Amino acid sequence: MKIIFRDAQHAWNPTQEEIKAWAYSGEKIPEQDWELAVNSLENIPMICSLIDDEKCNRTLFFLGSLYVFIGDIVRSGEAEEIGRLSELLNTMKMKAKSERLIDWIKRSKYLIQHPNTYDYDYWGLGSKHVY
């Protein structure tokens, strides 16, 4: 395996450069449930750009990671994080190109407005929205 991550044994704190390198590589997922490691509010714009890039062969992985991330934030109920997320979704809505990404934004906004509709099958690992 080609070493992409600065810490090959624990790829749980990847940089954006490492995430991008993996996105275009032929390497297997570095860790089980790695969707959790790539997610942060700061990474969302980059992840969205990867999903919109037809040359990226990991779009389903990244889309799934976004659903998990949104579900986790909404379930947390942390008003400040949810507010930052709402602003970010508004920004991403103007930039999104792919139908899948546009659907994710719409569904995410709905979940924020209706947190009681959260369902792990759709907002957890292996999201039915994606797979």
Q: Specify the DSSP element, H or E, that contains 68.
A: helix 59-76
pLDDT in tens, 88-119: 999 999 999 999 999 999 999 999 999 999 99
Mean of the pLDDT values across residues 75-92? 96
Per-residue pLDDT, 32: 86
The identity of residue 1, as a single letter, is M
Give 24's pLDDT tier (boundaries 50, 70, 90).
very high
d(CA 30, CA 7) in angstroms, rounded, equals 11
Contact between 99 and 54 under an 8 Å Cβ cutoff? The reply is no
**The whole model's pTM is what?**
0.91
Q: Indicate the domain borders of the chain.
A: 44-123
Instruction: Using the predicted structure, report yes or no on whether residue 46 has a pLDDT greater than 60.
Output: yes
> Structure tokens of 119?
């369902």
For 81, the 3-state DSSP assignment is helix
